[in-house]
Amino acid sequence: MAKQNLKDAVAWIDKDMTSAGLKPGGGKKDPAARSEMAKHQGQILILNELEYIGEILPLYGVTTKVESWISVPENKAVVDSIFKKIHTYITGIKFSKPKNATPQEIEHQRKIIIAGALKAKKLNKPPNHAFIVTTFEAAKGAKYKGKSTNNISMITASELNRHFRQNVTAKKISEQHQLGHGDKGIAVAEYNVVSRQQLAAKKFGLTKQQQGLLNTIYVKSKAEHLRKINIKHAQEVVANGKLDKNYLLTITMQTVRDNQADKDYEKAFLQSVRKNGAELAQREGSTKLIDAINRTLMWNFKPRPGMTVKGLRKQKIKESAKADYTSRKTQTIENEFTVWKGLTVQKNLFKGTQPKTGKPTGSLQNILGLINTRLPSKIQKNMGSPSLNNVTGKFSSSIEALKIRQTGRNRLPTLQYTYDKDPYQVFETGVKGDRRWATTARDPRLLIDKSIREVARELALGKFTTQRI
């Protein structure tokens, strides 16, 4: 069973991830994490020309693809006019100061607006149009507000109504899109779990090892929801449970379908996090078979004078645990590990503890968090000519151990990992690489394999193979 502080942390995270927070504009409540992100000062609103106009054209009876429709000169002129007026409108909005803001907070807002304007200018490349807004609520007001005299939907409706000689309302235009953080930036679910983990670590005094075990919850859940979830990115912009105040959140206008799909993914991800957290709270404390054997062997090891032996040493480890067998009968069994000099261990003595084919053991799965915690620094230490050189740190931070597969009873387990293949896969030898850049010394797989094995030795893991996926 897990230590009490880890169990308490998991229970608190489970509860706080669903706690409510007031919307910035008042009224009904949002999840606290969504409310915190909505109030964050400094956000970039991105409008993709094709996606934005493409969702609106069916309201005017257009059935052709948006790319074909915009390729017609007079239609392109209408679209250019829409975005020119949107640009004039948004850049003309006066930024309001936060309520009861201190002089330091007002100065920070001024600096973040300047930084956001520079970033928006870089992102403002066809077909994207990027704008700086103060908060998520400000972006919602810019999109559509019933009583306002001007907004993005009203501009769009006015131009297209004149072009098609129809009368589609601005409200109807606005209903074709919803604002979201997850498409090009950090999703609410990512921020939710990472911020709550950091708050829990401080609140319950978790050790680094416990934080690593806690991180395996998110690694495992991420592997189940790879399409949208990017925990590593979230960890880079969240500190002490709060968003970096200098980080610029990204908002996009998504189709209603895509926005709902993101919500469904986030909901499933959070459910997976809660499930894996509950499992971790039940499993973490028991001594694993390999650890038990290592510790009892260390007890009988007599070091030479002046030699220091590192690692836990125990003469005997005795534990009780419940095991569910194929007969569907749940029994309580006791495992006792004692190693004496000259003792011959009976073959298949621990047969009942062997994992089923094709399924990773809990202990191996839990160790992934520890590997991922140590791996970036180990990679950077091993980089340098003639291998890859560390310049920005992006390569080392992109590497992630995903899972460990046991493909057969008598075969070594395989640790599967991934890294950013764009642009680093060009250095791989073989069909995936580029002959102009690839050499054996530069092959990322060799560097990663070496680093993973060094980390594994530090953690006293057994033999395994590695595989890039």
- 183-226 pLDDT, tens digit per residue, is 555 567 777 777 888 888 888 998 888 888 877 776 677 666 54
Statement to judge: residues 440 and 381 lie in one domain: yes
Hey, which of 65-74, 243-252, 355-364 has the most confident mean pLDDT? 65-74
408 exposed, middle or buried (CB, 10 Å; 0-12, 13-18, 19+)?
exposed
- Is residue 230 very low, low, confident or very high in pLDDT (cuts 50, 70, 90)? very low
Q: What is the mean pLDDT of residues 236-255?
A: 73
Shared domain for 367 and 349, answered yes or no, is no
Q: Is the pLDDT of residue 430 over 80?
A: yes
Closest by alpha carbon to 197, among 154, 234, 248?
234
pLDDT band at 351 (very low <50, low <70, confident <90, very high): very low
Say if residue 180's pLDDT is above 50: yes
What pLDDT is stored for residue 131 in this prediction? 93
How many alpha carbons fall within 13 Å on the CB side of residue 368? 29
pLDDT value of position 236: 53
Rounded to whole angstroms, how far apart are CA atoms 16 and 352? 39
Tell whether 114 and 209 lie within a shared domain.
Answer: yes
Question: For 31-41, what is the mean pLDDT?
Answer: 75
pLDDT band, very low/low/confident/very high, at 115 (cuts 50, 70, 90): confident
Average pLDDT of the chain to the nearest whole number: 75
pLDDT of amino acid 310: 52
Does a structural domain hold residue 14?
no
The one-letter amino acid at 254: Q
**Number of structural domains the chain divides into:** 3
Neighbouring C-beta atoms of residue 262, cutoff 10 Å: 21
The count of C-alpha atoms lying within 13 angstroms of the C-alpha of 227, restricted to the half-sphere facing its C-beta, is 9
Specify the range with the lowest mean pLDDT, choosing from 138-152, 174-188, 278-292.
278-292
SS3 at position 342:
coil
pLDDT surpassing 60 at residue 51 = yes
Instruction: Please tell me whether residues 99 and 238 are part of one structural domain.
Output: yes
**250 and 122 part of one domain:** yes
Euclidean distance between CA atoms 242 and 255, whole angstroms: 29
Question: Cis omega before residue 58 (within 30°)?
Answer: no
- Is it the case that residue 391 has pLDDT exceeding 60? yes
Residue 6 maps to a domain: no
**Residue 421 and residue 468 in contact, taking contact as beta carbons nearer than 8 Å:** no
- What confidence score (pLDDT) does residue 358 get? 43
Q: How confident is the model over 147-154, as a mean pLDDT?
A: 86
* Token representation of residue 352: 């009942």
Going by pLDDT thresholds of 50, 70 and 90, the confidence category of residue 409 is low
Question: Is 1 domain-assigned?
Answer: no
| 336 & 383 share domain | no
- Structural domain span for residue 415: 362-468
Same domain, 168 and 295: no
9: left (phi over 0), alpha (psi -120 to 50) or beta: alpha
**Torsion angle of C-alpha atoms 342, 348, 349, 351, degrees rounded to 10:** 150
Q: HEC profile for 16-58?
A: HCCCEEECCCCCCEEEHHHHHHHHCCCEEEEEEHHHHHHHHHH
- pLDDT, one tens digit per residue, over 277-298 is 877 776 544 444 444 444 444 4
